[in-house]
Amino acid sequence: MRTLVRPDAPWPHGRGDTEVSTVRADACLAWRLGVPERTQLHRERVELLDPDSRPAMVQTTWRRSAAARPHVTHQLHVTGSTLDRASATLLGLGVGMVVLVVERTRYDERGRPVETADLVLPADRWRIKM
C-alpha cells in the first residue's frame, strides 16, 4: 500500500506510455477550466510508474495551451470510480476495478484555472493523505 501525500508535486519516478491529443471541452471540463463548452483543449494521458518501474497510476491533464503555465495554488477533489478500458490497459488491471480519482485543478496568480487533471489510482494499492 502506498500513500499519495502531495498530489500537486512533480512525480518523482518514471513515466511510461504517453498519449497526446486535442479534445473539445465537455460540460465538466469547461466548468473545471472556466472555458466555454467545445473549447479546444490539449490533453495528455501518461502512465506514471512506481520506483520499480511498474504502472502506479494514470494521469490525464487538460489545458488550453500545449505548454504548461505556472501556477500558484491548486484545489483537489477525491472521488471513487471504476476503471475504464483505457486506464485499465495502461495499469494492467481489469475494467471495472475500483479506483480513487483525484481531480486536481491548478490556478494562476489571478485565480484562473491553468490546467486540470485526473489522477487515477487503484484503490487496493493507494491511500491519499491531504
Cβ-contact 47, 91 below 8 angstroms? yes
Query: What pLDDT score was predicted for residue 130?
Result: 79
- Please give the pLDDT value at position 108: 97
Residue-wise pLDDT for 93-121, tens only, equals 999 999 999 999 999 999 999 999 999 99
Q: Which three cell numbers stand for residue 110?
A: 489571478
pLDDT of residue 128: 92
- Helix spans in 34-100 (H): 85-91
Positions in the chain whose pLDDT score sits under 70: none
Q: How many residues does the chain have?
A: 130
CB 13 within 8 Å of CB 50: yes
Task: Compute the distance between CA of residue 48 and CA of residue 117 in angstroms, rounded to an integer.
Answer: 13
pLDDT for the residue numbered 58: 95
* Predicted local confidence at residue 53, as pLDDT: 92
At 104 the pLDDT is 97
Which domains are present in the chain? 14-128 (3.40.1410.10)
Parallel, antiparallel or unpaired: strands 2-4 and 126-128: parallel
pTM of the entire predicted model: 0.92
Residue 27 pLDDT: 98
- Which amino acid does the sequence have at 76? L
